[in-house]
Amino acid sequence: MWQRMIPYIVILFLSIVIVFCGVFSLENNCVKIQGCSKQIELFAFFVFFFYLFFLTAFRSVEIGNDTIAYKNAFEYLVSNGVSQDFRLEKGFQYFCVFIGKIFPDFRFFLFIHSAICYGVVAYYVYFYSKNKYLSCLLTLCLCFSGFTNILRQDLALVAGIVAYLFLKKGRIFAFVLLVVFAAQFHSTAYCLLILLFHRLFDVKPIYLFPIIVVVLVLSAANFLVSPMLLVSDKYAYYLSSNRVGSGWLALGYYMIRSIVFYMFAYYSFFPDSKSRSLTMSVFIIPIFFCAAGFQMNLIQRMADFFFIFAVVELPNAYVQTKRMQTQGTFALLSLVLIAFFFISLIFKPDWNFLYPYSFFWN
């Protein structure tokens, strides 16, 4: 049994190495040393991402609580083609059929799916992150379990990254088109359109937290799910599912994580930062979705569409403020991110069925 925990021992080892490398990179101001440090940062980035990709791409179907269901759906679609009666979004169905006609083995599907997901996130981090050490740990914390579980939403998430980059450049039409494209894989991607009203979300914590309390109360009292189903009954089957409710443990975990991210970003960004309102909305909106998801975890999962932007935005917030760029702050934030990953792994293993780990050849 312990041999099947080796992948997580390696993850812990790589994470600790990244923490030490990140701390060392803050130690010297010498230009020559900084150049060497940048090379080490890129090397660590590529090794860490490749390892996460390797684990995800070559996993067995027992890893991930929905992987077997997606395997069955993939095989059905390859044999029967796109179906109007199938619950899965049409974009994902066409994706399965296209891959299946070339590679009918589901193992190839997992490989291609993982390559797309980690490829887009790696591109996002490589070109836009100002601290790739933190981005690696955030990818572990925010992406690894999702990329082994929510296969449809994963494709929508990475399409959302591209949409977000267009929005930051002011290309609203391209942003909307890409959100619509993302929704063809998971219709909850339409929640990204909220970012068009990002100026409404740049509020101080003193005003934000009372609103969150109200949302929490409404969610716990089941006043939020019914209005949602009036708009669309597409996910009504969740109400009869044994996984419909997130419960207090999941709610507490996601709320704490989202609030920690928000508070760190809030005290890092300059008040007059040009992109402050858009960036801060990325950290504020997930808090509301997490709070609203007590009775229906699908609502909580909408927060992932915004959390994934933190892979770059949180490190950039850290780099922007000189007073934050200390070895102690970096080490503390890094350890918190590692803890977030292992807490969900240890205390709630049935969330994602990630251990003991196994590959398809086991």
Assigned domain for 338 exists = yes
| pLDDT tens digits for range 314-334 | 999 888 776 667 788 888 899
Q: What is the mean pLDDT of each run of 10 residues along the chain (362 residues)?
A: 80 94 72 63 95 95 89 92 86 95 94 98 96 95 91 96 96 97 95 91 80 80 58 54 59 86 81 74 90 76 93 90 75 91 75 78 75
pLDDT in tens, 65-98: 889 999 999 999 999 888 887 888 999 999 999 9
**Is 219 a member of any domain?**
yes
Q: Which amino acid is at 320?
A: Q
Q: Which amino acid is at 317?
A: A
- Tokens 């927060």 appear where? 303
pLDDT in tens, 253-270: 888 899 999 988 888 766
What is the pLDDT, as a whole number, of residue 344?
Answer: 78
Classify 359 as helix, strand or coil.
strand
Q: Which residues contact 358 (CB under 8 A, 6 or more apart)?
A: 4, 59, 60, 62, 63
Torsions phi, psi of 308, nearest 5? Answer: -65, -25
Kindly state whether residue 361 falls inside one of the protein's structural domains: no
Query: What pLDDT was estimated at residue 33?
Result: 44
Which residues form the domain of 18? 2-351
Q: Which two tokens stand for residue 186?
A: 């998971």
Residue type, 253: Y
CA dist 99 and 77 (Å) reads: 10
φ/ψ of 179, rounded to 5, equals -65, -45
Taking the C-alpha atoms of residue 11 and residue 52, their distance in angstroms, rounded to an integer, is 8
Q: What's the token pair of residue 106?
A: 């589901």
DSSP codes of every residue in 182-226: HHTT-GGGGGGGGGGGGGGG---HHHHHHHHHHHHHHHHTT-SHH
Count of structural domains within the chain: 1
| Mean pLDDT across the chain | 85
∠ at Cα 188 (69, 118), nearest 5°?
Answer: 65
pLDDT in tens, 216-239: 777 776 666 655 554 455 555 555
> Is the residue at 340 inside a domain?
yes
Q: Is residue 360 domain-resident?
A: no
Q: 220-235 burial, b for 16+ CB within 10 Å, e for fewer? A: eeeebbeeeeeeeeeb
pLDDT of res. 30: 44
**Structure pTM?**
0.90
